A = this chain, B = another copy of it.
Amino acid sequence: MGSAERLSVGIIGASGYGGVQLVRLLIEHPLVEITYLGGSGSVGQTFGDLYPHLGHAVNLPIEDLEPEEIAKRAKVVFLSLPNGIAASLSPRLLAAGCKVLDLSADYRFPDLQVYEAWYKGTPRTDHEVAKTAVYGLPELYRDRIATANLVGCAGCYPTASLLALLPLLKQGLVDNSSIIIDAKSGTSGGGRQPKTNLLLAEAEGTLGAYAIANHRHTPEIEQICSDIAGQKVLVQFTPHLIPMVRGILSTVYAKMRDPGLTKDDLLTIYRSFYRTSKWVKVLPRGIYPQTKWACGTNLCYLGLEVDERTGRIIVVSAIDNLMKGQAAQALQCLNIMMGWEETTGLPQLAFYP
């Protein structure tokens, strides 16, 4: 296929970790072509100045154009920006005819009151646009994504947590008030901003919990859980910072409604639920996932356990926080929006070790 026939895509926020993943994935995607790289702090530099190892493959400058100008260059725009900025760019991009995939939290909540309650800042004025956004978790909302012009891509922790929880909620297998999500993330989730607590000298060789009982991914998880369960669901969500670069592991606990449920029942239910989802791999009985198995891929691995002594189900999910938890999942959404095969251009096999 000649480049003239490829879909033109732009990235705003190309300098961060989400951006560099997107650039890498889009370069290797057979049906798209990068036509715009946007950034504010790094305007005037080339992408190779920011990431010398990729300079041989992409030589675009970082620009800072108005949305309407960007729309002349790109039919699809990925936004990989701090929370709050997409809300001002997206309406203009959409009006100019672009499809928009936003990697921030701005379009994950149809009810912007929830957003404003958890994400303090400037009040939102784009309620009409926000209502048109589809939550970018393809395993759940594949059909809606297919026809969307604006996708609010799922957060990293929510992706890992929801893929572990969805079959339980859908089938009504657990006491919905008993859900505890103990999540662990590599430090790249904190972004490429220099922060003292994310220095190697601080974060290596140690482990801690943070934002206990008030992390902003909590309402995002609850909103989708409630949608699936058909009732208001609250979850206990605790994130931890792990001394590694990439990866999220979510260990999910819930009380079974039917104490007679067996491991094999559970395996059957999960395999059935994810039968058409090529990116979710339900592991065999007794095998629990390592985050490294998913690193560099768009995969989510799930390990299942039933504890007969305590009457609980434990599900462990592993993803790469920057791939299935961010950039690769956004590209999976694009594949769906364009009617392409959902696996096009996305890595399926992790390097190991």
Contact = CB atoms under 8 A, between A and B. Distances in A.
A209 B316 CA distance: 8
Contact of A288 (B27, B209, B236, B318): B209
A217 interface: no
A329 interface: no
A351 B292 CA distance: 13
A199 B193 CA distance: 9
A125 interface: no
Contacts of A208: 249, 288-291, 316, 318
A296 B293 contact: no
Given A28-B349, A253-B180, A305-B212, A290 B200 contact: no
Interface stretch (A17-25, A65-73, A143-151): A17-25
Contacts of A204: 187, 200, 204-205, 243-245, 353
Contacts of A198: 194, 199-201
A51 B352 contact: yes
Interface residues of A, number: 84
B17 A353 contact: yes
Interface stretch (A112-120, A307-315, A332-340): A307-315
B236 A312 contact: yes
A303 B209 contact: yes
B251 A202 contact: no
Contacts of A294: 53
Interface string A95-120: 00000000000000000000000000
A269 interface: no
A56 B289 CA distance: 14
A57 B299 CA distance: 12
A35 interface: no
Interface string A218-245: 0000000000000000111010101111
A296 B350 CA distance: 9
| Residue among A184, A196, A210, A295 with the highest chain B CB neighbour number at 10 A | A184
A52 interface: yes
A109 B246 CA distance: 40
A246 B212 contact: no
Contacts of A43: none
Interface in A23-41: 24, 27-28
By Cβ-Cβ distance, the 4 closest A-B pairs, closest first, are: A53-B293, A206-B292, A194-B194, A213-B307
Given A204-B244, A205-B292, A206-B293, 10 more contacts: A53-B350, A56-B281, A190-B201, A194-B199, A200-B200, A205-B205, A207-B318, A209-B251, A236-B307, A242-B242
8 contacts: A21-B351, A53-B350, A57-B348, A200-B202, A206-B295, A208-B288, A212-B314, A238-B251
